[in-house]
Amino acid sequence: MCGRFTLRKSIDVKELTGISIKENYNVAPSQDILTITDKPKFMKWSYSPSWAKEPMNLINARSETVRQKPSFKESKPCLIVADGWYEWKRDGEVKQPYYFHMNNDVFYFAGIHNDSGCAILTMEANEKLAPIHNRQPIMLKHNEARDYLNGKDRFTSSLSRRVEFYPVDRMMNSPNVNNEKNIEECKI
């Protein structure tokens, strides 16, 4: 699962997409996020099928079942621009957040979208990331991203092997806390 992420490298994002962003150290569900379909645009991070009587507000979709689930039949591929994400490791009653990044580089999450919004595709976590959480977002390199938008299922990437992570302060659990201290390593 990916319940929060970062997009803070505004200069890199501008060069990559032509879009100016405000640095965000705590992107939370239901916010408008930068995506790419046929062009860069902002979408709500919350997906609901058009037939749902009540919003389902899905933020993640399992890549293994995205083609079979009725909720995602009408979905189309999109890319979600990011430079890191958070996962929580449960230890009894305590949920410790960790920050995951790839040398602080900008990358893409594979996503799906419809008129209601978008969701991040996830996969089973690799052996390096699994001790923290059993799921991870699907990260795509630039050439893989192009293939994915053109209809190729790209549900794996070598980028996952380059991910680094460390614990961060639990203050970031609040979506109202949005500054560079969110990604500072802390002692646990």
Q: Is the pTM of this model over 0.85?
A: yes
Name the pLDDT band for 40 (thresholds 50, 70, 90).
Answer: very high
Residue 76 counted as domain residue? yes
pLDDT digits (tens, 9 = 90+) for 102-131: 998 999 999 999 999 999 999 999 999 999
89 located within any domain: yes
As a whole number, mean pLDDT of residues 16-32 equals 96
In a domain, 69, yes or no: yes
Annotated catalytic residue 87: yes
> Beta strands 60-62 and 117-124: pairing type?
parallel
Number of neighbouring beta carbons within 10 Å of residue 89? 15
Q: Say which residues have a Cβ less than 8 Å from residue 112's Cβ, sequence separation at least 6.
A: 47, 61, 66, 72, 75, 76, 77, 78, 118, 119, 121
> Considering 15, 54, 87, 185, which one is annotated as catalytic?
87
**Domain span at residue 77?**
4-183
Domain count, the chain: 1
Q: Is residue 134 part of a domain?
A: yes
86 located within any domain: yes
Annotated active-site residue in 2, 78, 118, 144: 2
Backbone angles phi, psi at 167, to 5 degrees: -75, 150
* Beta pairing partners, 60: 120
Residue 167's CATH number: 3.90.1680.10
Let me know if residue 52 belongs to a domain: yes
Q: Please give the pLDDT value at position 1.
A: 66
Is there a catalytic annotation at residue 2? Answer: yes
* pLDDT (average), residues 131-155: 89
Residue 188 falls within a domain, yes or no? no
Inter-CA distances, 138 with 55, 81, 171, 174, Å = 24, 12, 26, 24
pLDDT tens per residue, range 59-92:
999 999 999 999 999 999 999 999 999 999 988 8
**What is the pLDDT, as a whole number, of residue 77?**
96
3-state SS assignment for residue 27: strand
